[in-house]
Amino acid sequence: MNLPTPAIVAERGAQRLPRWALLAFCAAYVMPGLFGRDPWRNADLSAFGFMASIASGHASWWQPAIAGIPAEGAPLPYWIGALAIKAMPFFDAAFAARLPYALVLVLVLVLTWYSSFHLARTEAAQPVAFAFGGEAHSIDYARALADGALLALIASLGLLRLGHETTPELLQLLSVTLYLYGLAAAPFRAAKSRWALIASLPMLAASGAPAVSLALTLLGAVLCRRSSYEQVRNVAWWLLASGLLSAASAWAFKAWAWRVNFSDGAALPVEMLSLLGWFCWPAWPLAVWTVWRWRQHWQRRHILAPSVIVLVPIATSLLMNAQDAALLLTLPPMAVLAAFALPTLRRGIAAAVDWYSVFFFSGCAIFVWLYYVSMQLGWPAQPLANVRRLYVGFEPSFNPFALVLALAATAAWLALVRWRTARNRHAFWKSLAMAAGGVALCWLLAMTLWLPIANYVRSNGPLVEHLRPYLPPQGSAECVAAPGQALSTLAALEFQGHWHMQANEPLAQSACRYAVQSGLTTVPEGWEQIATVRRPSDRVQSWVVLRRR
């Protein structure tokens, strides 16, 4: 017996988002941060260091390393960046490595749209048929719901920073999204589905997540064997073959590693809930609403498949001490679940989401513009004084092209607010248009008006320039020892400062004449301290430059 679905959608409610508007949303989200910025500290800079080590010949393709410290996990993500650096030597190395990862983010957005589209086409996901007609057409309904899933993904706060970095986690995100597409398209695109599943799981294992790959293999095979579609049941054997390939690739790339960590103990569940609360906003409350409203259909593939895929990264993040990078993999399937909530939302809830988005993101935009005007004109004086107090040595700069882009984005936001407040808008994805537009606006403003200060605060470029007077000149054959330092610091010194770094042996055994150390309390025997340097935005940590006596 087929129970009626909770989706009640009239024909005018299944209006699709205009393609030019959808492309504008994606461009405003993907392009900012691609140009004009340095690699940011921690994971972004470390990953770039491994890519640059391969491209420059400092390390082998099979064992990327920074200053002699080998990379953990599989090298596939670093190969992509290294190939881009070698293929585009006329570009800055950091920009060249970032280009293929921008394409990866575009593919994630596209595959999320098509995954939602195919899941919405299944009979169990269709809206209720009206007695006298007028309900949404199945294809129009699926397209409108896919637009909602894409908007939910763009609006997710957790994707904002991690989605614009050149890290292995972004390639893992593409793998999970391709896997989701393979399951979703199985009843309609059998050949594409099989190839997607064959490619996704080995790529996931070769990107550093072999355990997640095997878990998705087993769960996906069970889901496929339970399907009422014969072509989906046949996909289970392709999934098992893909799982074998993923295990083989993990063994070949030496990707197996023990990463389980429960150091927080009893505080871990609270920390995990807090992380989920902001990282997956606003998709998670909509996904919870979907599970509740569609609870009588929870065994249907449009609910069960994305729900299962969501649970695997959540469990992984919990086992890894609430790591946000592991939680990144939940966002595409959670966005698909969130889209199925849109046809069931009450008008008051949708209006509350809209007004919250309008006030919150308008306030953020005003805040960014206020600081920008103060940095350029000196009025009002207090924001500029705050910047100079927090980031000593920073001097604002003017970029007319960035100003034009920011003005255009602000005008587009005002037009979007005007469009949403019109009373004749019936498309059910409208509740997420403001949230996605607000995230894209704030990201674009931050990466245009605030890009100089973001580079000053988030990159290690200022640290490199402060160290330069005390270390060998660029092009010198002398090495600099830096054992025990963070990989991002080593990457900045080696590939931004162009020093020959060594960090794989203790300072006492190093043959280098110079050394850089942080957190040093006493000067080692045989060395003398010649300088103490701080990153301008860091008031706690300092680096000591040593020279052999």
Q: Cis ω on the peptide bond leading into residue 396 (within 30° of 0)?
A: no
Asked if the structure places residue 449 within a domain, the reply is yes
One-letter amino acid of 457: V
Alpha helices in 156-229 (DSSP H): 157-162, 168-185, 190-206, 210-225
Answer whether 106's CB lies under 8 Å from 30's CB: yes
- Return the residue matching tokens 């966005």: 335
The alpha carbons of the chain give a radius of gyration, in whole angstroms, of 25
Residues 419, 506 share a domain? no
Asked if the structure places residue 515 within a domain, the reply is yes
Q: Compute the distance between CA of residue 371 and CA of residue 449 in angstroms, rounded to an integer.
A: 9
Q: Is 546 helix (H, G, I), strand (E, B) or coil?
A: strand
Residues 388, 321 share a domain? no
Picking from 344, 364, 383, the residue at the C-terminal end of a domain is 344
Residues 412, 336 share a domain? no
Asked if the structure places residue 101 within a domain, the reply is yes
Residues 481, 427 share a domain? no
Residues whose CB is less than 8 angstroms from the CB of residue 207 and which lie 6 or more positions away in sequence, other chains included? 73, 74, 76, 77, 168, 171, 172, 175
Q: pLDDT tens digits, the chain, 549 residues: what are they? A: 467 889 888 888 888 899 999 999 999 999 998 998 999 988 999 999 999 999 999 899 999 999 999 998 889 999 999 999 999 999 999 999 999 999 999 999 999 999 999 999 998 999 988 866 778 889 999 999 999 999 999 999 999 999 999 999 999 999 999 999 999 999 999 999 999 999 999 999 999 999 999 999 999 999 999 888 888 899 999 999 999 999 999 988 888 877 777 666 667 888 889 999 999 999 999 999 999 999 999 999 999 999 999 999 999 999 888 888 899 999 999 999 999 999 998 888 888 888 889 999 999 999 999 999 999 999 999 999 999 998 888 889 999 999 999 999 999 999 999 988 776 567 889 889 999 999 999 999 999 999 999 999 999 988 999 999 999 988 788 999 999 999 999 999 999 999 999 999 998 889 999 999 997 888 999 999 999 998 877 777 899 999 998
Answer whether 94's CB lies under 8 Å from 48's CB: yes
Residue 470 DSSP code: G
- Return the residue matching tokens 């199985």: 186
Distances in whole angstroms, Cα of residue 514 to Cα of each of 190, 494, 517: 61, 14, 10
One-letter amino acid of 145: L
Picking from 344, 363, 387, the residue at the C-terminal end of a domain is 344
Q: Compute the distance between CA of residue 375 and CA of residue 456 in angstroms, rounded to an integer.
A: 14
Residue 480 DSSP code: E
Q: Compute the distance between CA of residue 237 and CA of residue 221 in angstroms, rounded to an integer.
A: 7
Q: Compute the distance between CA of residue 26 and CA of residue 154 in angstroms, rounded to an integer.
A: 8
- Count of CB atoms within 10 A of residue 493's CB? 27
- Return the residue matching tokens 């957190």: 519
DSSP bridge partners of 422: none
Residues 338, 355 share a domain? no
Number of domains observed in the structure of the chain:
3
Asked if the structure places residue 512 within a domain, the reply is yes
pLDDT tens digits for 369-379?
999 999 999 99
Answer whether 394's CB lies under 8 Å from 475's CB: no
Residues 251, 156 share a domain? yes
Q: Provide the domain limits for residue 415.
A: 347-458
Q: Compute the distance between CA of residue 210 and CA of residue 192 in angstroms, rounded to an integer.
A: 23
Residues 527, 491 share a domain? yes
pLDDT tens digits for 224-255?
998 888 888 999 999 999 999 999 999 888 88
Residues 29, 148 share a domain? yes
Residues 501, 398 share a domain? no
Provide the pLDDT for residue 482: 95
Listed residue (110, 451, 155) closest to 285, CA to CA: 155
Listed residue (435, 424, 375) closest to 402, CA to CA: 375
Residues whose CB is less than 8 angstroms from the CB of residue 51 and which lie 6 or more positions away in sequence, other chains included? 64, 78, 80, 81, 82, 84, 85, 97, 166
Residue 513 DSSP code: S
pTM of the model: 0.95
Q: What separation, in Å, do the N-terminal and C-terminal C-alpha atoms of the chain show? A: 86
Lookup: tokens for 316: 């992984």
CATH number for position 531: 3.40.190
Provide the pLDDT for residue 1: 47
Q: Compute the distance between CA of residue 257 and CA of residue 334 in angstroms, rounded to an integer.
A: 27
Distances in whole angstroms, Cα of residue 162 to Cα of each of 44, 169, 319: 9, 8, 20
**Phi, then psi, of 499 in degrees rounded to 5:** -100, 150
Residues 222, 85 share a domain? yes
Asked if the structure places residue 134 within a domain, the reply is yes
Picking from 321, 344, 367, the residue at the C-terminal end of a domain is 344
Q: Is 327 exposed, middle or buried (0-12, 13-18, 19+ CB in 10 A)?
A: buried
Lookup: tokens for 280: 């997956």
Asked if the structure places residue 193 within a domain, the reply is yes
Q: Is 241 helix (H, G, I), strand (E, B) or coil?
A: helix
- Count of CB atoms within 10 A of residue 20's CB? 8
Longest dimension (CA), the chain: 92
Asked if the structure places residue 14 within a domain, the reply is no
Residues 324, 263 share a domain? yes
Residues 292, 272 share a domain? yes
Asked if the structure places residue 255 within a domain, the reply is yes
